[in-house]
Amino acid sequence: MKDLMFYYKKSMRKNFALGAFNFSSLEVLKAIASAAEKTSSPAIIAVSESALEYMGENFVMANAKLVKESCKAPLFLHLDHGKSFEICKKAVDLGFDSVMIDASALPFEENVALTKKVCDYAHEKGVFVEGELGQIAGIEDNTFAKNHIFTDPQKAKEFVKMTKVDSLAVAIGTSHGAYKYKGESRLRFDILSEIEKKLPRFPLVLHGASSVSEKLVKIINENGGKIDGAKGVSEELAKMAVQMHNIAKINIDTDLRIAFTAGVRSSLKERPENFDQRTYCLNGQKMVEEVVVHKIKNLLNSEKMA
């Protein structure tokens, strides 16, 4: 099978982005694999540290292996927001294809040192490494930052050179979670352009770019949920980042959680007598699959890129 670097390079040439879809259950994993297969798109299946803990590493490795082997589209297992050398080493040793070391909360020199240490270890075993510079605001699992610290383009260049990292998550105004903006969403394309001048043809990553579909939030709220004031990044803006800039990977977690919740809530409301979890979880799975297909076709442009 072609490796992840092949798809990163191809994404830069063909102006698409790889979707990194987070999962913390078998249903969501199956939904991502099925959507990738239906659209002939490569996809990254991502787990955070807390999702790895929630499912257990044996469950994750066994199911990721099975799904990767049976899926007709290429899937890559990725650790999202690894905060320490130990967790990244563990993921490399377990057989992950890719790890993210997120030392963005540390001072620049310490971020460089830790990211380099992970790269030295992971590259030896052929594993891809993503770093992060700047700070993406918002909350997601155990990743939390109150304010944006936009990525400094000159520092980004130095960071990549010193660490030998394979891709870089940048902070340009996206944020984690379902409550991203009070008003209109804004992205700092000026900063993105500056980073690209310093790092031509280098794969950049957008975190916190879920669009938080109004339609799905409405389904949740009409079926007993209460999600007020949720707002995501406009899909048009994120799409511009893919088509006009070097964004080679977009992380999508919140949108899948919202889709799954909408599926489960509407199924339970429709059939209140039902207590077979396979029925309502399957409805959640179907809605997640629809969202992943939509992202591949309309945002990532990665359809038929397998």
Q: Which residues are catalytic?
A: 80
Beta 137-140 vs 143-145: how paired, if at all?
antiparallel
Interaction with Zn ion in 197-226: which residues (CB under 5 A)?
207
Minimum CB separation of residue 277 from Zn ion in Å reads 29
Minimum CB separation of residue 70 from Zn ion in Å reads 28
Between 148 and 187, how does the x/- string for binding to Zn ion read (CB under 5 A)?
----------------------------------------
Residue 78 touches Zn ion, criterion: CB under 5 A: no
Q: Is 75 left (phi over 0), alpha (psi -120 to 50) or beta?
A: beta
- Report whether 301 contacts 17 (CB < 8 A): yes
Rg (CA), the chain: 18
- State which residue, 219 or 291, has the beta carbon closest to Zn ion: 291
At 282, which helix (H) or strand (E)?
Answer: helix 277-294
CB atoms within 10 A of CB 26: 14
Minimum CB separation of residue 39 from Zn ion in Å reads 23
- State which residue, 173 or 263, has the beta carbon closest to Zn ion: 173
- Report whether 49 contacts 87 (CB < 8 A): yes
CA–CA gap between residue 21 and residue 257 (Å, rounded): 11
CA–CA gap between residue 84 and residue 128 (Å, rounded): 16
Q: How far is CA 7 from the centre of its chain?
A: 16
Spatial strand order of the sheet with 143-145 comes to: 143-145, 137-140, 175-176
- Report whether 42 contacts 302 (CB < 8 A): yes
CA–CA gap between residue 97 and residue 296 (Å, rounded): 21
CA–CA gap between residue 137 and residue 177 (Å, rounded): 9
- State which residue, 78 or 207, has the beta carbon closest to Zn ion: 207
Minimum CB separation of residue 230 from Zn ion in Å reads 17
| Mutual angle of helices 108-124 and 153-163, in 10-degree steps | 40
Q: Is 95 left (phi over 0), alpha (psi -120 to 50) or beta?
A: left
- State which residue, 39 or 254, has the beta carbon closest to Zn ion: 254
Minimum CB separation of residue 147 from Zn ion in Å reads 16
| Residue 125 structure tokens | 């075993």
Q: Which residue is nearest to Zn ion (CB)?
A: 207
- State which residue, 253 or 265, has the beta carbon closest to Zn ion: 253
- State which residue, 71 or 259, has the beta carbon closest to Zn ion: 259
Minimum CB separation of residue 197 from Zn ion in Å reads 25
Please count the residues of this chain forming the interface with Zn ion, following the rule CB under 5 A: 1
Residues that bind Zn ion (CB under 5 A): 207
